[in-house]
Amino acid sequence: MIDARPFEPKQIRRAYDRRSWLYGKLVAPFEFRNHRRAIDRAKIRPADKVLEVAVGPGRALLEIVKRIDRDNVALGVDAAPGMLAIARHTLAAVGYDNFDLREGDARRLDFDNDTFDVLYNAYMLDLIPFADMPGILAEFCRVLKPGGRLVLLNMSKKDDERVSWYERLYEKLPASFVLNVMGSCRPVLMGEFVEEAGFENVEREFLGGVIPSEIITAGAWCPD
């Protein structure tokens, strides 16, 4: 695995803000099948309190909202206001209003301890530097109820694959291309990070296809 290029959080935020419309139209459709499979694995029940971190254009949040009661509200956070605007439109356009979208950073979630039954996070940890992952996973664990379900979907690779052609490109291409075109995403293997953060029953499913990905599911029984 290779580390993320050292972009500042505000550079990431600006890049996704600028490309939010394009991302929603060009990239998100290729990822939708993987979202569906990952959200199925979350086994969301109608009364579950669900948080999606990094909602992007909101296609996954729409699938989440369809699975909960109409009077239950799904929470969503993203660093980029442009993405939040598109997500609001995605859900409102098909008649859903039981969601609450907020600007925020996965590193410091503005929610109380033990709030959520399910936390869903897709295609975000693959742009996060290794050094920030333990802190983010500790935040995910903090806001999940004991026994709550964590579901991650990330760009990934087969676990025995050495450095892939995509990783070589990621390391060699100019920083502006990596940030603005690749969105700074590279393949990651999150299972060990999730175990080290104290989650239990960590399982991984590899998905091939246009955007090779992994689904990680785990239970939150985290250290205080």
Ligand X SMILES: C[S@@+](CC[C@H](N)C(=O)[O-])C[C@H]1O[C@@H](n2cnc3c(N)ncnc32)[C@H](O)[C@@H]1O
Q: Site residues (CB under 6 A) for ligand X? A: 9, 12, 16, 28, 31, 53-54, 56-57, 59-60, 77-80, 83, 105-107, 122-124, 127, 183, 185
CB of 98 to ligand X, least distance (A): 19
In whole angstroms, give the CA distance from residue 181 to residue 67: 33
Q: Which residue is nearest to ligand X (CB)?
A: 56
Amino acid, res. 52: E
CB of 168 to ligand X, least distance (A): 20
CB of 84 to ligand X, least distance (A): 9
CB of 49 to ligand X, least distance (A): 19
3 or 200: CB nearest ligand X: 3
49 or 59: CB nearest ligand X: 59
In whole angstroms, give the CA distance from residue 100 to residue 161: 40
4-22 as b/e, with b when 16 or more CB fall inside 10 Å?
bbebeeeebbbbbbebbee
CB of 220 to ligand X, least distance (A): 19
Residue appearing with tokens 């580390």: 3
42 or 54: CB nearest ligand X: 54
Contact call for residues 143 and 112 (beta carbons, < 8 A): yes
CB of 71 to ligand X, least distance (A): 25
Task: List CB contacts of 70: < 8 A, sequence separation 6 or more.
Answer: 98
Amino acid, res. 61: L
68 or 86: CB nearest ligand X: 86
28 or 65: CB nearest ligand X: 28
Write 198-202 long-range contacts (CB < 8 A, 24+): 198/141, 198/222, 198/223, 199/137, 199/141, 199/150
47 or 92: CB nearest ligand X: 92
